[in-house]
């Protein structure tokens, strides 16, 4: 009877079947719930993206959310600082999206603001750290960025700025007058390694947060560039940076503590390291400005080899390439480059100058370069015409001093010194140099051979050619130049430690160049920017008078007095200022050469890529 089914067996089977059916139904219902949740998440995400898109469109059209503006504030189309960016959005092919990928010729030591000391870090920081004012790229007039309006006292000693109430940092916190006050005090704290910037701001006596959006600057003395002084000070977040006053050395050694109110941000404000070989900034979705920039990402790839940079540009891995003088014309004729590129050749009004700095306070300085007669001889041995023709291929002009040749700061009666080896050798003999042992190298009166190291940045082939040409020129006069190539972080340390004989570098320039940091004797100590150790009382007095003279005509006379001292004393051998030779990927639109330079390098960023030719998907 064991093979027959009983009622009990049938009941158990039915129960098991019911359990299986229930499990199947449960799993089905769970799947449906997950599907609903997934659809809900997608809907929420789409609504969030739509809201962000709507906010951007409202910002582009000049409309702000009521909570962002004081009651009664009415704005039409964005004017002033966002005018160019707004006009770009009105073009038929305008689209947001894509990346702008640019090269860096050298590695960066740090991106942390105020302790970084090179222009490459500042180029990146300008998209993250904002200032109260910036210049209009078309007129050079001042425009409010973080400040909505401002005024100065009749005596030039007090400046009031009224901040935009909607301005905020990328972490969502409001930007207030207390942040501006804190930024000044942070920079002026001697424990923070910012001697150059501190020297520049030392004319400010105090900064007062009058109320939440009203900040007042007090100056010690009248200063010709007072509006630039206070208006271009970087504004930091007190909430983010104040903690480093408890551990200042930690900040001095930091690599990527970068958070600001600008249109872009580091994905992680403190995670960047120089070893990464690149810098990526992502769009700040909380950006307070009237118009958001078009590119989703700004990327800088560190490529120290010029050939590798060109290859990367050819392969579409870079969107910009700065050509060397010897290759520029050839690349313009190369259809593989010309067909996909915008080409630009121009002399920026703010273009700086290349120079050789003679370390007066160093070991070689004590033996050779402390004597102005020797420094003048070195300038006369430097054939700038040949350098411009052979190294720069004619894409440069000689410099007489730190002042732009077309600026009223420059005395047009001072002309570039001609190459004159006979006069140079006469001066060297007067200084006690001769070839006493007939070995082809001249010696001083103590029998020490005239030989020195020239430090230079090794990442540019053009600079290598310059150094080799200088070596040949000086060898003809019995002077032995020993090239000392360095990468950028090492070079910065060399400057700070004054561990060099001579160095070739370039300074940036401005509408009116203040030479206090580079040449005033007060800037020799504490790692100041007078790294050649030049001290001249007449120069100090001329600089001090120029900086405190408000009348332009009188001020120019003081600058020209300072220029005359530099012309005679030659703490630098001023070489040339170069034209910019650039290629930019043709998919980028709205590119223009402005009085501030190429528009793809300015803030607010107003270039874009039409959607049909975008290369990178949204992050």
The confidence band for 196, taking pLDDT boundaries of 50, 70 and 90, is confident
Place of tokens 């300008």: 126
Q: Is the pLDDT of residue 28 over 90?
A: no
Asked if residue 562 lies in contact with residue 515, where contact means CB atoms within 8 angstroms, the answer is yes
The dihedral over CA atoms of 246, 247, 248, 251, expressed in degrees to the nearest 10, equals: -130
Start-end ranges of CATH 3.90.76.10 in the chain? 114-256
> In degrees, to the nearest 5, what angle opens at C-alpha 70 toward C-alphas 239 and 173?
15
Are 509 and 350 spatial neighbours (Cβ–Cβ below 8 Å)?
Answer: yes
CATH topology of domain 114-256: Dipeptide-binding Protein; domain 1 (3.90.76)
Residue 584 has pLDDT above 90, yes or no: yes
Summarize the confidence of residues 159-171 as an average pLDDT. 97
The residues of the chain that CATH labels 3.10.105.10 are 353-578
Distance CA 108, CA 507 (A): 17
338-372 pLDDT, tens digit per residue, is 999 999 999 987 788 999 999 998 666 677 999 99
- What average pLDDT does range 203-217 have in this prediction? 97
pLDDT band, residue 304 (cuts 50/70/90): confident
Average pLDDT of the chain to the nearest whole number: 89
In the predicted model, is pLDDT for residue 40 greater than 60? Answer: no
Query: Distance (Å, rounded) from C-alpha 223 to C-alpha 140?
Result: 19
- Cis preceding linkage at 85, omega within 30: no
Q: Which residue has the higher pLDDT, 99 or 76?
A: 99
8 Å CB contact between 254 and 112: yes
The CATH homologous superfamily of the domain defined by 353-578: Dipeptide-binding Protein; Domain 3 (3.10.105.10)
**44 pLDDT exceeds 90?**
no
Is pLDDT of 295 > 80?
Answer: yes
Alpha helices in 302-420 (DSSP H): 306-314, 325-333, 335-338, 363-364, 372-380, 384-390
Tokens of 109: 């030591």
Asked if 508 and 119 count as a contact pair (C-beta separation under 8 A), the reply is yes
Q: Which residues pair with 101 in a beta bridge?
A: 299
CB 112 within 8 Å of CB 316: no
DSSP per residue, 153-194: -TTSSEEEEEE-TT-B-TTSPBP-HHHHHHHHHHHH-TTSS-
The answer to whether residue 403 scores a pLDDT higher than 80 is: yes
| Residue 39, pLDDT above cutoff 80 | no
Q: Burial, 42: exposed, middle or buried (Cβ in 10 Å; 0-12, 13-18, 19+)?
A: exposed
pLDDT in tens, 368-395: 999 999 999 999 999 999 999 999 999 9
Tokens 């790692």, residue? 527
Give the chain's radius of gyration (CA, Å).
31
DSSP state of 438: S
pLDDT tens, position by position, 212-233: 999 999 999 999 999 999 999 9
Segment 61-77 shows an average pLDDT of 35
129: DSSP letter: S
pLDDT grade, residue 41 (50/70/90)? very low
Residue 169 structure tokens: 């940092």
Sign of CA dihedral 294, 297, 298, 303: negative
Q: Which of 393, 576, 362, 382 is nearest to 471 (CA)?
A: 382
Task: Please report, for residues 50, 192, 239, 455, 546, the alpha-carbon distance to residue 249 in angstroms, rounded to integers and kept in the order given.
Answer: 45, 7, 18, 28, 36
Query: Comparing 548 with 64, which gets the higher pLDDT?
Result: 548
pLDDT attached to residue 50: 41
List Cβ neighbours of 538 (8 Å cut-off, separation of 6 or more).
561, 565
Return the axis-axis angle of helices 372-380 and 421-430, rounded to nearest 10°. 160
- Round to whole Å and give the CA distance between 171 and 361: 46
- Which residues, including other chains, have CB under 8 Å from residue 328's CB and lie 6 or more apart? 345, 393, 395, 581
CA distances in angstroms from 99 to 15, 129, 609, 614, listed in the order given: 62, 20, 9, 8
- Spatial contact of 153 and 609, defined as CB atoms under 8 Å apart: no
- Please give the biggest Cα pair distance in the chain: 133
Distance (Å, whole) CA 576 – CA 397: 5
Which of the residue ranges 28-37, 51-60, 288-297 would you say has the lowest mean pLDDT? 51-60
Closest CA to 515 of 496, 542, 487, 490: 542
């Amino acid at each position: 009877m064991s093979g027959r089914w009983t009622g009990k067996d049938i009941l158990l089977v039915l129960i098991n079947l019911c359990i299986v059916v229930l499990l199947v139904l449960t799993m089905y219902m769970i799947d449906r719930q997950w599907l609903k949740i997934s659809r809900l998440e997608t809907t929420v995400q789409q609504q969030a993206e739509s809201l962000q898109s709507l906010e951007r469109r409202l910002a582009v059209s000049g409309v702000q959310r009521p909570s962002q503006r004081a009651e009664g504030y009415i704005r039409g189309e964005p004017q002033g600082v966002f005018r160019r960016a707004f006009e770009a959005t009105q073009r038929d092919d305008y689209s947001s999206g894509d990346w702008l990928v640019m090269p860096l010729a050298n590695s960066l030591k740090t991106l942390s603001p105020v302790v970084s000391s090179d222009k490459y870090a500042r180029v990146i920081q300008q998209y993250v750290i904002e200032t109260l004012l910036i210049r209009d790229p078309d007129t050079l007039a001042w425009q409010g960025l973080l400040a909505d309006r401002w005024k100065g006292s009749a005596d030039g000693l007090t400046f009031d700025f009224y901040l935009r109430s909607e301005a905020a940092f990328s972490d969502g916190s409001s930007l207030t007058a207390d942040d501006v006050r804190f930024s000044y005090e942070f920079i002026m704290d001697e424990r923070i390694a910012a001697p150059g910037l501190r020297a520049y701001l030392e004319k400010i006596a105090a900064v007062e947060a009058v109320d939440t959006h009203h900040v007042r600057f007090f100056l010690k003395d009248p200063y010709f560039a007072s509006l630039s002084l206070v208006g271009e000070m970087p504004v930091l977040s007190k909430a983010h940076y104040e903690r480093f006053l408890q551990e200042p050395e930690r900040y001095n050694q930091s690599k990527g503590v970068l958070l600001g109110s600008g249109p872009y941000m580091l994905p992680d404000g403190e995670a960047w390291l120089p070893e990464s070989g690149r810098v990526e900034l992502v769009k700040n979705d909380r950006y307070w400005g009237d118009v958001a920039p078009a590119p989703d990402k700004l990327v800088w790839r560190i490529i120290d080899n010029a050939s590798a940079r060109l290859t990367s540009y050819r392969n579409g891995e870079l969107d910009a390439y700065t050509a060397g003088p010897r290759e520029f014309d050839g690349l313009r004729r190369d259809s593989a480059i010309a067909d996909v590129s915008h080409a630009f050749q121009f002399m920026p009004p703010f273009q700086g100058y290349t120079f050789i700095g003679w370390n007066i306070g160093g070991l070689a300085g004590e033996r050779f370069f402390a004597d102005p007669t020797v420094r003048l001889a070195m300038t006369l041995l430097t054939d700038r015409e040949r350098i411009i023709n052979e190294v720069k291929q004619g894409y440069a002009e000689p410099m007489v001093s730190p002042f732009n040749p077309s600026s009223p700061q420059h005395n047009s009666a001072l002309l570039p010194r001609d190459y004159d080896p006979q006069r140079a050798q006469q001066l060297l003999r007067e200084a006690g140099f001769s070839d006493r042992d007939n070995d082809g190298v001249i010696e001083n009166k103590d029998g020490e051979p005239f030989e020195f190291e020239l430090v230079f940045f090794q990442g540019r082939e053009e600079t290598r050619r310059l150094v080799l040409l200088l070596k040949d020129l000086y060898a003809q006069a019995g002077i032995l130049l020993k090239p000392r190539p360095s990468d950028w972080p090492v070079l910065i340390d060399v400057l700070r430690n004054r561990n060099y004989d001579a160095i070739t570098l370039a300074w940036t320039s401005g509408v009116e160049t203040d030479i206090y940091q580079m040449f005033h004797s007060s800037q020799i100590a504490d790692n100041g920017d007078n790294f050649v150790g030049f001290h001249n009382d007449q120069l100090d007095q001329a600089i001090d008078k120029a900086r405190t003279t408000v009348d332009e005509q009188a001020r120019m006379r003081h600058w020209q007095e300072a220029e005359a001292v530099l012309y005679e004393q030659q703490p630098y051998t001023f070489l040339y200022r170069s034209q910019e030779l650039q290629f930019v990927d043709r998919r980028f639109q709205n590119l223009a050469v402005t009085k501030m330079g190429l528009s793809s390098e300015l803030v607010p960023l107003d270039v874009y890529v039409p959607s049909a030719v975008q290369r990178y998907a949204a992050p």
